[in-house]
Structure 1
């Protein structure tokens, strides 16, 4: 038996792996940070005909000290034999340890906090998109680890056309965000989709599929290469600490913004929801009307969305200005929302095999295109 995390987005530390029924592991911290929760590792077992597979019991010993321990309640880890189809496996939490149990059917099995979105798949997404007539791939600059900060520009500027921005994976462990973006882009670039064609007649899109490529490859939950939480860097980003935000913000100041969606995942809440910028100084009745209409449209479009549960709204003038949605909403006086998806399941439409998944995230991204279509004329 062997356990490894020596691959893209891998994260685990082996304490004791001598006995299949009592495997002791720990999750590594984000570099230069107290955050940790994302895990991703490979278990090499032996399920040959001569050595029938046994139940493997895996303990993540430091789960009780993770960043969001409420995320472990009613949570089920994901596993995969082919790194394509991810399914939920029996998981329990006793307040200290997270315990995963599986009797492997094949020699090698991967486990993760959520369906991973690899850096190679990220590159495939960017470069397949650029082949489409309406899309350009731009590089804004480099991260601290020397990776590209990539931007997809979809559509062309024009008089009266709206400028719509989407960013994803400021927190790299929230991989459902890039699955969402993949579905969104796939539909937006579909020449046979009437909603997409109509939208590109009225708007130009700027999409950053991965705001934090360094943290993604390193196997981080929440921070970049030097431990910066990018979603607390928007007021005063620097090239030395948070070039990812600095470069995107500079581009926004050139293009302007009429609508902004920042795509995330929430550890604790088992639903999809939106978080607005109600507490920013520039927030007014127009802001509120736009927010209310967008939520009403989404409620009509998909049963995967709800507006009963979510974050508490900030009091007027009390919003944290370092958060991306708050900075953009205030700076450009535009409709700005954080989109949150669950790590667990959507308990309004539970799927006991896969929970909330990569596929469902992608489909929700496609649905949001319809929501934007019904909003685009009112954004300015």
Structure 2
């Protein structure tokens, strides 16, 4: 029996591997920070053996409440993922599963590999609507790519969408795959109508270094990118620095920051109520956007989510707050669950990559609904 994690996004520490019913593991923290929750490992040599895997330090994770009613993801081929039973007791996550093959992978959520990311970029570039540009290099020397989609005429509305500031939130890039697939479909009338009025600026993965390293929330320097938007630096958070500079160049009329939430089993958005520039105009846009999102996808809801910031109390180091305030525009953080959508549960799959992808397709409907109102007359 063997456990390994030396592959793209792999992360786990093995404590004991002496018997199938007592496999002891520990979460490995981000490479330069103390955040721990993401895991992704391969188990070999346990076919048809009832295995009990204990993650001993689950109670020390960044979000221990995330283990409540949580089931890990598993796959034999890293393409088809399903959920396996687990329970959280006394700070320990206990996974009980009998593999049906000699090799199986377990992960916190369905991964989105760097190879998938590069393929997504390449597929998008094949469209005549897309320009691929390199905003700069990450600390590990990877490319930070921007997809510019549309005609880029001065009258176009500027729609910015970024994903995976937190690298362990892989559902965010699945979401982007769905969004791009629909937006670049020349037979989709909604996509064609959007292209007539807007240029989209899409960063599919804000944190490629953290993604490959198997980090939950930080880049190679240990920076939580979603706390770097007030004062990004080339030394600590170049990813935010390059994107912010490009935004200053293009302007922003609508901004979406795509994430995953460890604890809440719902799909929801968080707006900019607490920023100094918040106005009745933006409030009305938020209402219209959410109303049309409810119609576009039954997965979305607006009852459960984060508490709204009091006026003037928003944290402007966060992307949605900084962008919404600086450009006085409609801006949302969109959150998807690591667990399942409690409103539309799927016992076998939970919330997964394909459901995230479908949500990415659906988001174009509320974007279209607010398009004509994004700029003041």
Q: Distance in 2 between matches of 1:245 and 1:46?
A: 43
Q: Using the alignment, how far apart are the partners of 1:2 and 1:257 within structure 2?
A: 50
Query: Does 2:20 match 1:20?
Result: yes
TM-superposed deviation, 1:54? 1.3
User: Does the CA-based 8 Å contact 1:237-1:243 persist in structure 2?
Assistant: yes
1:248 shift after superposition:
0.3
Determine helix, strand or coil for the equivalent of 2:109. Answer: coil
TM-score normalised by L of structure 2: 0.99
1:347 is matched with: 342
In structure 2, C-alpha distance between the alignment counterparts of 1:113 and 1:295, rounded to whole Å? 29
CA drift of 1:178 comes to 0.2
Q: Give the structure-1-normalised TM-score.
A: 0.98
Provide the secondary structure at the position in 1 that maps to 2:363: helix
Show the counterpart of 1:248: 243
Q: 1:92 aligns to what SS in structure 2?
A: strand
CA positional deviation for 1:46: 4.2
Contact 2:265 2:340 in 1 (8 A): yes
User: Aligned Cα RMSD in Å?
Assistant: 0.7
- Which of residues 66, 74, 85 is equivalent to 1:79? 74
Q: Counterpart of 1:303? A: 298
Q: How many residues align?
A: 375
Deviation at 1:95, TM superposition (A): 3.2
In the TM superposition, 1:171-320 aligns within 5 A as: 171-320=166-315
Extract unaligned runs of 5+ from structure 1: 48-52
2:108 maps to: 113
SS at match of 1:346: coil
The answer to whether residue 59 in structure 2 is matched with residue 40 in structure 1 is no
Shift of 1:302: 1.4
Q: Is the 8 A contact 1:45 1:104 kept in 2?
A: no
Structure 1 stretches of 4+ moved >6 Å? none
Q: How does 1:61-76 map to 2 (within 5 A)?
A: 61-76=56-71
Partner residue, 1:153: 148
Counterpart CA distance in 2 for 1:247 and 1:285 is 31
Check the 8 A contact 2:275/2:321 in 1, yes or no.
yes
Mapped partners of 1:160, 1:375: distance in 2: 16
Q: Deviations over 1:51-98 (max 9, x none)?
A: xx2101101110000000010000000000010111000010013110
Equivalent residue of 1:304, what SS?
coil
* Contact 1:142–1:148 (CA under 8 A) maintained in structure 2: yes
Deviation at 1:258, TM superposition (A): 0.2
SS at match of 2:152: coil
Report the alpha carbon displacement of residue 350 of structure 1 after superposing the two structures with TM: 0.4
**8 Å Cα contact 2:20/2:46 also seen in 1:** no
